[in-house]
Amino acid sequence: MADRGMDTAPTIKSANKINEVERRTRRRRRRRSKAAAPPLEKPELRDCSGNGCFPCVWNVYSDKEEVQEINIK
C-alpha cells in the first residue's frame, strides 16, 4: 500500500499562506481586544474612607489603570 501522507504534505507556498492568515487573525484579535476595553471609572473622593484600608480604592484603580495601559500597547 502506498503511503498517503506523502501525497497530502503541505507545500512551502501553502504553509506560508497559512502562516499569513494566522498572523492576520492575531492582529485582528489584538485590535478588537484593545478597542473593546471599557473606560475605567475613577473612584469618587467619598469612596475612600481614609483609614488606610488595604487594598485602598485608589490602589485598585491605579492597578487596573496600569494593566489597561499594558494591554493597549
Alpha-carbon span 20 to 29, nearest angstrom: 14
pTM for the predicted model, two decimal places: 0.48
Alpha-carbon span 72 to 44, nearest angstrom: 25
For 15-73, what is each residue's pLDDT tens digit? 677 678 888 888 877 776 555 667 889 999 999 999 999 899 999 999 999 988 877 66
Residues in the chain: 73
For residue 49 the three cell numbers come to 474612607
For residue 16 the three cell numbers come to 506560508
